[in-house]
Amino acid sequence: MITLFEIQRPNADYCITNFYGVILKQQIDHTGSYYAASAHATPARPSLKGDVSTDVCIIGAGFTGLVTGLTLAELGYRVVILEAARVGWGASGRNGGQIINGFSREIDYIEHTVGREGAKALADLALEGGNVIRELAERYSIDCDLKHGSVLAAYTNKQVRDIADTIDMWKQRGRDGIDLLDKNAIRDHVGTDVYAGGWLDHNGGHIHPLNLAQGEAAAAESLDATIYEQTRVTDVDWVRTNPVVHTENGSVTARYVVLAGNAYLGKTVKELYPKILPASTQIIVTETLDDATANALLPTDKCVEDANYVLDYFRLTADKRLLFGGGTVYGGQDVADVEKALRPNMEKLFPFMRGIKVEYGWQGNIALTWSRLPHVGRLGGNTYFAHGYSGHGVTSTHMMGRVLAHAIHGDASAFDIFAGMPARSFPGGQTLSVPLSTLGCWWYSMRDKLGI
Ligand SMILES: Cc1cc2nc3c(=O)[nH]c(=O)nc-3n(C[C@H](O)[C@H](O)[C@H](O)COP(=O)(O)OP(=O)(O)OC[C@H]3O[C@@H](n4cnc5c(N)ncnc54)[C@H](O)[C@@H]3O)c2cc1C
């Protein structure tokens, strides 16, 4: 066939089409992020061609898939990971890099949902994800700019009171290491006078997420796991005892399958589609700052997120740029101009950042669930899934990878608690779920603005 059109840009998709626009070959590269530009060099991996069999086939090479695969490879399983684009291409390689402990809902809500015993077991897992990150970074010497400590920032006195209550709730469940900050104390960490207080979680921190994902992939490969990139899964036959995963150019038959495609899984498995709603969030990164400006912004080099429903989050990168994120678009559409969307928020907090150049802007999709707790379970006997971390997935994915791996290995105690949580579909179906969720989001944002 004659190839007529060839398009290749750095950090963008590579696509060859014929005269009729039919795609003959396509390579999906990382989004044009600061992370892609600053990641350690990693060789591209081959795509799957032909039929293979294995113990465990994992769909998606984000943190969920990688940590599940790595843990199972450590336990001696043969692991194949199928990734539609590149390792870390999804949310895992383009997020704010913030290690936020706990869940996207308060522990008293979780207790109401799963009962006292279940809530205790989950509370015991609240620090697991951060611990797994630090453990893997050390065990496999993953150079991912790991820093310690994260700040939750409150705009209003009501938010400060809520934060104080949450600290008490965690203390009653044996979790320490969180300091309540008043207006003066938060000023030691963040160079703005707008916050009324907040907390400092000594078990939080931040990372270069793409380097972490690539490091975890290399660790899994060092234990004989196989990762295929540019390999989109088109269908999963999960009814069989040994499920079969179909790709564009091959198939994998496995004893167990793990669905870890999160917001990007789309309709690959139609039973899961109504349970999660993709939402895009955006990030900008400035030029490298001089030491005085970097110190004026974040003197203790902690990461920060605020306590609003639609929140801003920011931190310094290892080479002293401000990485600033925010915004939520339900449905996962891209905004037209990321800098235009985020710069006003950045300058409102830090007026001295006017005139500083923004060098990178990108966006990515998180997966929301109706309850804001992860949606976890099994299809048939041997196909597992976990997704829907609802915006706070850097730690939850690392915890969940271990939970999934242990369930496959025979200890499903934690998995069963997650799987037992009710998972409602989004109301309104395909047509109305986005406008209804947008309306709900507007309502909660108004409450934040009014301080109620
Ligand atoms: C811009 C942004 C900022 C964020 N900031 C933070 C933060 O600071 N702290 C925090 O805790 N959380 C943050 N999050 C959320 C966090 O990044 C995610 O919850 C987490 O990375 C999800 O990991 P995952 O492995 O489940 O999914 P992903 O990382 O999205 O990986 C899923 C992978 O599956 C692949 N895939 C999907 N379908 C198929 C298929 N059919 N065939 C083959 N492969 C497939 C995709 O290509 C993708 O690579 C942020 C998210 C975004 C988008």
Our CA angle for 223, 226, 230, nearest 5°, is 145
Q: Which two tokens stand for residue 226?
A: 């196989």
pTM exceeds cut of 0.85? yes
Closest CA to 362 of 398, 332, 325, 395: 325
393-452 pLDDT, tens digit each:
999 999 999 999 999 999 999 999 999 998 888 777 666 677 666 766 666 666 666 676
> Where along the chain do its domains lie?
31-94+211-275+373-421, 147-206+277-368+431-452
The strand ranges marked E within 262-302 are 277-286
Tell how far the Cα of 121 is from the centroid of ligand 1, in angstroms: 25
Amino acid at 435: P
- Alpha carbon 131 to its chain centroid, in Å, reads 16
pLDDT at 72: 98
Tell how far the Cα of 365 is from the centroid of ligand 1, in angstroms: 7
Q: Confidence class of residue 23 from pLDDT cuts 50, 70 and 90?
A: low
pLDDT at 446: 65
From 92, 385, 402, 418, give the residue whose CB has the most ligand 1 atoms within 8 Å, as the site to mutate.
92
Tell how far the Cα of 351 is from the centroid of ligand 1, in angstroms: 32
Given this structure, which CATH class describes domain 147-206+277-368+431-452? Answer: alpha beta
Q: Is the pLDDT of residue 240 over 60?
A: yes
pLDDT at 442: 63
Indicate the helix (H) or strand (E) that contains 82: strand 79-82
CB 383 within 8 A of CB 243: yes
Q: Is the pLDDT of residue 10 over 50?
A: no
pLDDT at 1: 35
Tell how far the Cα of 393 is from the centroid of ligand 1, in angstroms: 8
Closest CA to 269 of 372, 386, 373: 386
Ligand 1 lining (C-beta closer than 6 Å): 59-65, 82-85, 89-92, 94-98, 100, 232-233, 260-265, 268, 281, 283, 313, 325, 364-366, 387, 389, 391-395, 397
| Residue with CA nearest ligand 1 atom 18 | 393
CB 210 within 8 A of CB 30: yes
| Residue with CA nearest ligand 1 atom 2 | 95
298-308 pLDDT, tens digit each:
999 999 999 99
89-104 pLDDT, tens digit each:
999 999 999 999 988 8
Closest CA to 276 of 288, 287, 284, 268: 268
Neighbouring C-beta atoms of residue 449, cutoff 10 Å? 12
Enumerate the β-bridge partners of residue 79.
Answer: 56
Amino acid at 81: I
Tell how far the Cα of 193 is from the centroid of ligand 1, in angstroms: 33
CATH superfamily entry for domain 31-94+211-275+373-421: FAD/NAD(P)-binding domain (3.50.50.60)
CB 269 within 8 A of CB 238: yes
